[in-house]
Amino acid sequence: MVQAPGMSTPGPPPAQSRGYETTIDIARHQAYHVAPVAGIKRSTTTRSPEPPTSGVGAPTHSTFRRGPNSPADGIRESTPLEFTRASLIPLPNRFHPSKIHPGPGAPGPEEPKDGQKGASAPGSSQNPLLSLTNPKYGLPPALTANFAALGVSNIYPWQASCLLARGLLAGGRHLVYTAPTGGGKSLVADVLLLKRIIEDPARKALLVLPYVALVQEKLKWMRRIVQGVERNVPEDDEDDAHYPRKRWKKLQRQIRVTGFFGGSRTTATWADTDVAVCTIEKANSLINTAIEECSIGDLGVVVLDELHMLDDEHRGYLLELMVTKLLLLRQDIQIVGMSATLSNTEMLAQWMNAKFFISTYRPVPIDEYLVYENAIYPAATSRQLFQTASKLTAANLTSLHDSIPPHRLIDASEYKELCNAATNSMVALAVETASAGYGALIFCSSRGACQIHAATISEAMPSLAPHESEELSKRLDLLAELRSLACGLDPVLEKTIVKGGGFHHAGMTMEERELIAQAYDQGVLRVLVATCSLAAGVNLPARRVIINGARMGRELVGPAMLRQMCGRAGRKGKDDAGETYLICIKADLEAVCDLLDADMPAIESCLAPEKRGLKRALLEAIATGLVSGGEAIKEYVRCTLLYRTIDKKLVYSIMKSALQELIDEGLLIFKDDESYGATLLGQAVVASAFSPEDGLFVYEELKRALQAFVMDGDMHIFYIFTPLQVATNTPIDWQIFRNQLDRMDESGLRALQFIGVQPGFVNNMVQSGASLKENTPDQQKQARIYRRAYTAFQLRDLSNEVPLSTIATRYRIPRGAVQTLAQQCHGFAAGIVKFCQRMNWGMMAAALDHMRDRLEAGARADLLEMAQVTFVKSWTARCLRENGFRNLRSLAEAEPKDLVPVLMMVNRRKTQKSQLHPTEAERYAAKVLAKAETIVASANKIWEREMQIELEE
């Protein structure tokens, strides 16, 4: 074996005993060819290690010489600026992590680790079917070459068995399958999807994912996979008989991949794409439009990732609606559903008339551990982990270690910051992972906890030595990238990044999250602390996953979420092993026992009466012309998952009640021929993608606006554009509400009073400190109005070029929440405009559409042209305009270096050169110059396109 650079030659264990070793311990004295999960393998022996304490495998840490004025305990506050000094001399940490050493229950050297017992999967040389180039898969060479370039040449036996099942590659059968996280689920769906649209170039594909972050990640992946791949388009018109749709349009050879999600500014339509990567809401809307326009026959395959979202309380019914409509159509459309957390796969397959496949294979083994009171107990399976926790509950805590010998022990810490056993264990495990050159991913309960824990871990991380300047350089580059963002550099990240730590949660902006995730994936950051949303939303594997407590927020995590988090440990192509550590406190031991012993919950329908999903299902089917008569509606209902899961008579009873409610609400009519039809209002609700309940509320609001629309200001429009779902749970700070009212002009006050906001009521809420009552329908309606009005203030500020960070400070909310509000508002505003258009309210639709452009640009009307340019939004556009770059043409003709001083002004308070060391200032200036070059290139592209349009006209 070739020795990795910087790694010591493996030697025999010290004399005392070999002791229990984790994969982290093994990494210290073995050479590896496998890259770590966080990127490039880092050397640990180049640092000055401390001598081991008790036992082998104790983590090594950098030690520092204390100066004459250093405090005795080594605690010292270090700042990022000190790490940018030319000398790069590391400073003492505030505290050191506790040592981890073998416990009395450590296995002997002859006992293999469970993660090392399994044999590796056979290669393509042993089994030709494990190569994607095998003729049985029928994939073009360009596609298999793209897969190979991204590290996918061979497949696993279970993938081969699944793909080669009768009818799947030909698109003649639906498929429902489940496999562990990291087991290669996505590749099966990718092959089926791409094969279908390559072989039938008249067909399109939908790839549906639950979260925007996943859509954006998959969009990049899919575009790389299809680059240079051509579809089987006939050379001449002689083959038109085989492609009847070709007579109506010219087929494209290249595969066009488009993203559809809330907040996206794509102008592409259903006709402009071959593979639509979209969120659940966008996918349902696309299918409705295709049915209504009779172009659903163009659809060839639909892939539903994270199929367990079927029983999601808020969005699951939309997935069921999509499948139900496709099943009723009986078109030649292949449905592929997959998830890592399905328990009733066979039942779902029966519902979808699909083949089902269950795989338990995971290419990278995971070792699972329970951490309790600074002791680590191994458990190779969930059952074993449950039994261990049960024994801990029943044991006498004074003799715990004697009753159940732990495999490893973590020393108690003398530092007050680490006096809590759970925190002490988290820090020790995280630093041990980073010291061995691997990535640690830590899940904790809240956004605030993410930042606190990241700061604590960073204080205990080994400092970089002077010769590790390249690694420090990458971290300074990351700081410069973050500093160049419009929101500036977060002060906590400023302190943690130089030590190799970071955090990731929904309160951060999208740009911040993307940069942090990328840095962790590349190994620039070694430790990432995140909320549980990261487990489902972003693909970031780790050598070691540490779950700091069984609660995420106030609630105990469910079995599915626990599996999602644990599944991030180890990933094929990144690492050869993985570990998970569930840190448990005494108060949660019983709950953890129940959690670890719980089966995966069965997927249930969300069309049940209490969830009101069937009303929307029926309204959409009738409004799009999919069904109309009574028997057709019954057949439609028989295609639902609801029909499979509850009594049939009860289903028909629910159906009749839902139809009658829709008639009473004016969304449907019952015709003389005993068929059902959608009213104009019902059609408008479906076209705008609103639920019936939300659609009726919007209708009442817009009807009032038609009678008296406040046009001498913009507050009324911002209220109308405020998403209902966002305002439902928005907490109101009544003092801030009153402050905003005090600053309103006469037009704004008139608009708010017209919609039902009374300044006197706001004053009473400030003085009394009371909260909104929502016990009656009238109180609920009033609460919705006040929450929407409060949220509308934030939208107004966004469109009036107030910096995002200023808005966050003004309303005491995270910057990411402001950005999320803007994204959700874009989709809701588009729905409002469509609603008005369907209702034939042309003038209102035109007025709202103009304000929608302002909202998307985050700027006033005079900046809309410039706001099309990449990186030029709101405040940036205003600064450029006020400094001589007044329009798109002037930006296109500018020299990038001339834009740099203006861009530096955008974050003036964050980036004054006097606050930066020259090294960091130079890096920051380079990043700004690169951004200026992108701005000029983007402006040129848009300007040329506009000139071309003018010439053609």
Question: What digits encode the pLDDT tens for the residues 833-846?
Answer: 999 999 999 888 88
Query: Higher confidence at residue 114 or residue 867?
Result: 867
Element (H, E) at 26: helix 23-28
CA distance linking residue 196 with residue 927, whole number of Å: 43
Average pLDDT, stretch 717-736?
86
Are residues 715 and 840 located together in one domain of the fold? Answer: yes
pLDDT at 823: 79
Is 222 in contact with 186 (CB distance < 8 Å)?
no
For 51, the token pair is 């001598």
pLDDT at 484: 77
Are residues 780 and 844 located together in one domain of the fold? Answer: yes
How does the average pLDDT of the chain come out, rounded?
A: 79
Number of domains in the chain: 5
3-class secondary structure, 276: strand
Are residues 405 and 549 located together in one domain of the fold? Answer: yes
pLDDT at 918: 66
Are residues 594 and 481 located together in one domain of the fold? Answer: yes
User: Is 831 inside a domain boundary?
Assistant: yes
What pLDDT band is residue 889 in, cutting at 50, 70 and 90?
confident
Tell me the residue type at 866: M
User: Is 241 inside a domain boundary?
Assistant: no
Q: In this structure, what CATH number is given to the domain that contains residue 554? A: 3.40.50.300
What pLDDT band is residue 391 in, cutting at 50, 70 and 90?
low
pLDDT at 62: 34
**Cα–chain center distance at 392:** 36
CA distance linking residue 142 with residue 149, whole number of Å: 10
pLDDT at 950: 62
268 contact partners, CB below 8 Å, separation of at least 6: 256, 258, 260
For the chain, what percent of residues have pLDDT higher than 90? 31
Highest mean pLDDT among 490-504, 555-569, 599-613, 895-909: 490-504
Average pLDDT, stretch 23-48?
42
pLDDT at 545: 92
User: Is 166 inside a domain boundary?
Assistant: no
Q: In this structure, what CATH number is given to the domain that contains residue 666? A: 1.10.10
Query: Higher confidence at residue 450 or residue 906?
Result: 450
Q: Which of 581, 604, 627 is the last residue of a domain?
A: 604
Residue 263 has pLDDT above 70, yes or no: no
pLDDT at 157: 92
Q: Which of 552, 581, 604 is the last residue of a domain?
A: 604
Q: Which backbone phi and psi does 670 adopt, to 5 degrees?
A: -105, 115
pLDDT at 82: 39
Token pair 């002859």 is at which residue? 110
Token pair 């017992």 is at which residue? 117
pLDDT at 7: 42
Token pair 């993985």 is at which residue? 578
pLDDT at 386: 57
User: Is 11 inside a domain boundary?
Assistant: yes
Query: Higher confidence at residue 109 or residue 206?
Result: 206
Are residues 737 and 613 located together in one domain of the fold? Answer: no
Are residues 398 and 508 located together in one domain of the fold? Answer: yes
Residue 84 has pLDDT above 70, yes or no: no
pLDDT at 83: 38
Give the residue among 553, 561, 559 at the shortest CA–CA distance from 596.
Answer: 559
For residue 938, the 8-state DSSP code is H
**545-576 per-position pLDDT tens digit:** 999 888 877 778 888 788 888 888 887 767 77
Are residues 829 and 875 located together in one domain of the fold? Answer: no
User: Is 165 inside a domain boundary?
Assistant: no
What pLDDT band is residue 405 in, cutting at 50, 70 and 90?
confident
Query: Higher confidence at residue 397 or residue 453?
Result: 453
What pLDDT band is residue 77 in, cutting at 50, 70 and 90?
very low
Q: Give me the domain span that covers residue 905.
A: 863-953
Are residues 662 and 528 located together in one domain of the fold? Answer: no
Say which range, 110-119, 206-215, 638-647, 773-782, has the weakest mean pLDDT: 110-119
CA distance linking residue 666 with residue 681, whole number of Å: 7
Are residues 786 and 666 located together in one domain of the fold? Answer: no
What pLDDT band is residue 65 in, cutting at 50, 70 and 90?
very low
**475-487 per-position pLDDT tens digit:** 888 888 888 787 7
Are residues 394 and 407 located together in one domain of the fold? Answer: yes
Residue 428 has pLDDT above 90, yes or no: yes
Average pLDDT, stretch 730-741?
92
Give the residue among 362, 496, 551 at the shortest CA–CA distance from 83.
Answer: 496
Are residues 763 and 888 located together in one domain of the fold? Answer: no
* Vertex 442 angle, CA 438 and 444, to 5°: 175
Average pLDDT, stretch 781-808?
88
pLDDT at 89: 39
pLDDT at 908: 53
User: Is 155 inside a domain boundary?
Assistant: no
**215-258 per-position pLDDT tens digit:** 888 999 999 999 999 888 876 544 555 554 444 455 678 899 99
pLDDT at 442: 93
Average pLDDT, stretch 463-483?
80
pLDDT at 665: 95
Taking residue 62's Cβ as centre, other Cβ atoms within 10 Å add up to 19
SS3 breakdown of the chain: % helix, strand, coil, rounded to 5?
A: 50, 10, 40
Say which range, 47-56, 124-133, 408-417, has the weakest mean pLDDT: 47-56
Where helices occur in 867-917 by DSSP H, the ranges are 874-882, 888-892, 896-906
pLDDT at 128: 86
pLDDT at 64: 32
pLDDT at 456: 92
Say which range, 56-70, 142-156, 662-676, 717-731, has the weakest mean pLDDT: 56-70
User: Is 152 inside a domain boundary?
Assistant: no
For the chain, what percent of residues have pLDDT higher than 70? 78
Highest mean pLDDT among 70-79, 243-252, 303-312, 385-394: 303-312
Give the residue among 496, 481, 483, 502 at the shortest CA–CA distance from 910.
Answer: 483
Q: Which backbone phi and psi does 458 adopt, to 5 degrees?
A: -65, -35
- Tell which phi-psi region holds residue 220, choosing left (phi > 0), alpha (psi between -120 and 50) or beta: alpha
Are residues 674 and 697 located together in one domain of the fold? Answer: no
Q: Which of 604, 627, 660 is the last residue of a domain?
A: 604
Question: CA 461 → CA 470, 492, 525, 689, distances in Å?
Answer: 18, 15, 11, 49
Going 58 to 59 to 62 to 64, the CA torsion angle's sign is negative
pLDDT at 403: 60
Give the residue among 823, 772, 788, 820 at the shortest CA–CA distance from 701.
Answer: 788
Average pLDDT, stretch 173-180?
93
User: Is 683 inside a domain boundary?
Assistant: no
Average pLDDT, stretch 38-54?
36
Say which range, 48-57, 404-413, 537-546, has the weakest mean pLDDT: 48-57
pLDDT at 457: 93
CA distance linking residue 276 with residue 266, whole number of Å: 12
